[in-house]
Chain A
Amino acid sequence: MNRENRKVLFSVICVGILLIICPVFLPSFGLYLLNEMIIYGLFSYGFYLLFSHAGYLSFGQAAYFALGAYSVALMYKHVTVTIWLPFLTAIVVTAIVATILGFLSVRLGALYFAFLTLAFAQMIYAIVFRWRSFTGGDDGIPGVSRGIVDFYVMKVDLESPMHFYYFTLVIFFALTFVLRKLVTSSFGLTLRSIRDNIERSSFTGVNPQRYLLIAFVISSIYCSIAGALHTSLTKMAYPELSYWSTSAEPIIMTLIGGIYTFSGPFFGAVIYIFLKTYVMTLIGNWVLFLGVVLLVIVLFFRKGVMGFVEERWGANL
């Protein structure tokens, strides 16, 4: 193992241990925040795969965030509070919707992709908002359960913040590991060839639309699982989850963390939520502050915070 790999492994273990032991020391509000950070980290990873590797900016990942949230909320409410079936429903529903909308969105190039994903997401927002009898309209679905993990030999109630935190963390570790595998695989290289030169890519025998569609569906499933966890954490689902401003959040987080670093989206989410929470209480004008932060990032730290750290530390994190 070379020096750089050792540095990477060391950082991964440190952050991992920190995330595992943190809840013991954190007050309940701190735990809630950390939980939210991890969920938004996952959401950002959903955006990151498509944008940073395939070069396609989706402005509509909120649609899948909301699909996951509503699928789980409705299943908990009407069918079962055991997590398996609700989460499976969220994934299947998302996969079907993302395949159909993705098929229509990837055909015309990256610019139209951004517009089409935005348009489709707004359509889903309109449906969620208007279909009162099913989705609760603008009231949303309050009082959602956090579910129960049923291992047959043992049941874990996720109502406890500590249990729910570790549940989220296990999913986060697993999905991050899978994503890391994906982006370093042949599939990931193929996506980057599409980002780099889509025409040349098709002249090596690759059907770019097919790969973009696969990436889009995987990406949407990540967003959907994040949405499902979010609705469990906050105990409600509401139409704003599918609104375009929600789609902007993983974009901003990824930008802050660094678009071409693997750890960027997660740390971007951590920084974003930390700032949002404390700036809102201490200064008040969050949107203005966010504008300044983005300005500084774009002007001076185009590689993002983690891009900066990577350069200083000499390892691709």
Chain B
Amino acid sequence: MSILKTEGIRKQFAKFAALNGISLGVEPGEIRAIIGPNGAGKTTFFNVITGKLKPTAGAVYLEEKDITGKPPYEITSYGIARTFQIINIFQGLTTIENIILPVLNKYGENRAFFSRPQTRGDIIEECFQVLSRIGLEKKADTLAANLSHGDKKKLDIGIGLARSPKIFLLDEPTAGLNPQEKQSIVNLIKEIAEKENLTIVLIEHDMDAVFSISDRISVFQQGVVIAEGKPEDVRKNRLVIDAYLGEDF
């Protein structure tokens, strides 16, 4: 049984079809990479799954439940977390406050009108677990805006992770990072996938990262899936070489 399944997703922007019938199934516990040239519709696909955009046609299922076109906050609460291509954190809040928010939401406590989250031992403890997982426990009280680029990327992942999702969508997690930071993000992704048995779908342009961590790869081009399979099969696929990877790879 697929944990996440899409059927014939189409997304039309005026006359341009960004997604032209995407049917895709992700198995529980796998790491799935989505690759493809710019403008292939990868991020649009994430936006449709997570409710940021409504599809023109087609359906999205999470564990057989139809979640098509639901608002982002509902889809998040069903257990789909995501990060964004451009860092998307609460810059004006401290690192730990960034993590407190999703943890509060997980327990339905955003509307605790009179209790200070900082006095809730259980919630703070859980936040520190998340922070230590992403390696930011020493920077808990730093304003998020003052973190380094790499730390912000990690915090972005932490916000998603904090809500204990069933499936985690990562949009270019290593973009704009130096090799060292890249490696630490790749290790982090491997680690959370193993420890939490979390299903991960990631969009990535760094092929070393893609081939080292993914169980399966889907290749997008112009809004359709042109190939799908194990990394070694995708690497040899003629269509993929012509469309994206090139002869040298």
Contacts and interface: CB of A to CB of B under 8 A. Distances in A.
B113 A182 contact: yes
A127 interface: no
Contact of A196 (B50, B52, B93): B93
Contacts of B50: 203
Nearest to B90: A196
Nearest to B81: A203
Given A196-B92, A203-B50, A182 B102 contact: no
Given A184-B116, A189-B101, A192-B92, A204 B71 contact: no
Given A192-B93, A193-B101, A204 B159 contact: yes
Nearest to B109: A186
Contact of A200 (B89, B110, B116, B163): B89
B82 A203 contact: yes
Contacts of A184: 116
Contact of B105 (A182, A185, A204): A204
Interface in B9-52: 50, 52
A187 interface: yes
B197 interface: no
A202 B73 contact: yes
A211 interface: yes
Nearest to B104: A186
B205 interface: no
Contact of B72 (A186, A196, A203): A203
B77 interface: yes
A6 interface: no
A203 B105 CA distance: 10
Interface in B117-149: 117
Given A197-B91, A204-B159, A190 B101 contact: yes
A205 B102 contact: yes
Contact of B100 (A189, A195, A200, A211): A189
Contacts of A107: none
Contacts of A189: 93, 97, 100-101, 104, 117
Contacts of A150: none
B198 to A, nearest CB: 17
Given A197-B89, A211-B110, 8 more contacts: A200-B88, A203-B88, A204-B159, A205-B73, A205-B102, A205-B105, A206-B73, A207-B73
20 contacts: A181-B114, A185-B113, A186-B100, A187-B111, A187-B113, A189-B101, A189-B104, A189-B117, A192-B92, A196-B92, A197-B91, A199-B72, A201-B90, A203-B50, A203-B72, A204-B101, A204-B102, A205-B76, A211-B110, A214-B111
